[in-house]
Amino acid sequence: MKIFQEEPILKAGFTYRELGALIVAIFFATPILIAFSIGLIRIFFETISLLIMVNKGELLFLKENGQSLGMVFFFITMAAYIFLSLPALINKRFNKKIIFFSCVFGGLSLLIGIITTPISSFLVESYIEKRGYTRCDYYSGRGFNPMDYYVFDSKYCVSAVSVLKSEAFPWFEEMNKKGEVDYDEFLLKVEQWKAESPFFEDE
């Protein structure tokens, strides 16, 4: 079975529009998909690592991105597109059977990802909450695909910090590394951040 079709993508007398579409597909869309795929894999393993630390009780504060476990199926879809685009570098295209099965495989992976993304998010959130963590809406993201933030004790969920996250989150990371946090110290920090923030100048 021949791997490539006989006809090239660009034939004699091709138009600049055809050439432009090919260049966009190879040198613009493909690199973006590769970067996005790498990001998906990275977030996937970060989530696995986070769940392991949660199970061991090693975190006090954490960002949850459970949907990444389901979204990893999108990587297969993008990999199928990247695979099919490679022959274009030599002005070729795969034979119709390879294209068909790659499209079916990529399409099924996309469908599975769409289904499993919300499911994985729900399962990860349930897992975290069963281990005593509380979701803090003040610290969580907004809009499409928000990243939820959890605290080990609900008293650390303070509304004022919703506009002080750039100061609070690094401090939370320090406390995670330290393995302990003092509530009075936290309250003092909040007051310090408020004093330094333009959002609280009128208070």
CA angle 156, 157, 161 (to 5 degrees): 105
Distance from the first to the final alpha carbon of the chain: 76
Q: Residue 77 to residues 110, 130, 135: CA-CA distances in angstroms?
A: 6, 33, 32
Residues of the chain with pLDDT under 50: none
Q: Produce one character per residue of 185-199: b if its CB has 16 or more CB atoms within 10 Å, e if not.
A: ebeebbeebbeeeee
Beta partners for residue 134, in sequence order: 151
What crossing angle do the helices spanning 183-196 and 165-178 adopt, rounded to 10°? 150
The C-alpha atoms of residue 108 and residue 110 are separated, in whole angstroms, by: 5
For residue 199, how far is the Cα from the chain centroid? 30
pLDDT 10s digits, 52-61: 999 999 999 9
Q: Residue 183 to residues 111, 132, 197, 203: CA-CA distances in angstroms?
A: 46, 18, 21, 23
pTM: 0.82
Joined tokens for residue 118:
């919300």
Q: Produce one character per residue of 50-82: b if its CB has 16 or more CB atoms within 10 Å, e if not.
A: bbeebeeeebbbbbbbbbbbbbbbbbbbbbbbb
Evaluate whether 123 touches 67 at the Cβ level (below 8 Å): no
Evaluate whether 157 touches 149 at the Cβ level (below 8 Å): no
Q: Residue 128 to residues 14, 24, 104, 196: CA-CA distances in angstroms?
A: 57, 43, 35, 33
Convert 60-120 into a string of H (helix), E (strand) and C (coil). Answer: CEEEECCHHHHHHHHHHHHHHHHHHHHHHHHCCCECHHHHHHHHHHHHHHHHHHHHHHHHH
